[in-house]
Amino acid sequence: MPEDDLTSRIEAILMTADRPIGERKLASILGLVAAGQVDSEEDEEDTDSAGPSQQVREAIDELNSAYESTERSFRIERVAGGLQMLTLPRFAEDIARLKGVRNQSRLSQAALETLAIIAYRQPILRADLESIRGVACGEVLRGLMERRLVRIAGRAEELGRPMLYGTTKEFLEVFGLATLDDLPQAKELRPAVERKPKSKPEAKPEVDSESTSTEESDAEPALETEPAVDDAS
């Protein structure tokens, strides 16, 4: 297959895809490997320097070099274990205005703080999360699970088998991360979200602006009743 044709086909696929696509999945779509050799969209390491995944990587590098040299507004990035075409961060405000993004659709400060703690401490118990924040987190957790940013990651091996929480593949996509290893290191962050109170108060109810539920905020999230554990990690 001519190299120019390969890069053009990859560009067309990624431009129309609404989710990240793994290298081997992309190679399968392009007919570089048999469809049966790819079990899922998750990327698989191809150590062959001339293998299908390497051909895809070289084509991606060529496309990104062309985008940079011509000062295009987008590039191909590795997100959540796959490849996705994304606009450059400096155009975010223009795109937000085009889409008519409203403040209500953004995560509240409480949700962002809770999500940050889960991302860095996962898997984490709700009790530990509330101990760090000093407030009840039932409503906030519910909202994050409804947005598919947080999932039930399992159960702790202790009395009552309480739920453990972790982030999802959608979390990686939303924040443009390839893996959790791409999270900023703690030393790069300002002194933190996590400030333990001098004296440990009782958990106070906190209603997240993202949720419209009228249930008690110290109730377990509704999704815990029948946890549909997301396979994404």
pTM: predicted TM-score of the whole model, two decimal places: 0.51
| Equal CATH topology for 3-99 and 103-224 | yes
What is the rounded CA–CA span in Å between residue 144 and residue 37? Answer: 35
- Model confidence band, residue 214 (pLDDT cutoffs 50, 70, 90): very low
Neighbour count for residue 28 (Cβ, 10 Å):
19
Q: What number is the average pLDDT over the span 201-223?
A: 45
Which tokens go with 152?
């039930």
As a dihedral over the C-alpha atoms of residue 43, residue 47, residue 53, residue 54, rounded to 10 degrees, the angle is 140
Is residue 131 within 8 A of residue 199, CB to CB? The reply is no
Closest to 106 in 3D by CA, of 213, 222, 209, 212: 209
Domain ranges of the chain: 3-99, 103-224
Which tokens go with 222?
């509704």
Tens-place pLDDT, residues 161-208: 999 999 999 899 888 888 888 888 766 555 544 444 444 444 444 545
What is the rounded CA–CA span in Å between residue 68 and residue 130? Answer: 45
User: H helices then E strands: how many in the chain?
Assistant: 8, 5
Evaluate whether the domain defined by 3-99 bears CATH number 1.10.10.10: yes
Q: Which position has the higher pLDDT, 104 or 105?
A: 105
We find that the CATH architecture of domain 103-224 is Orthogonal Bundle (1.10)
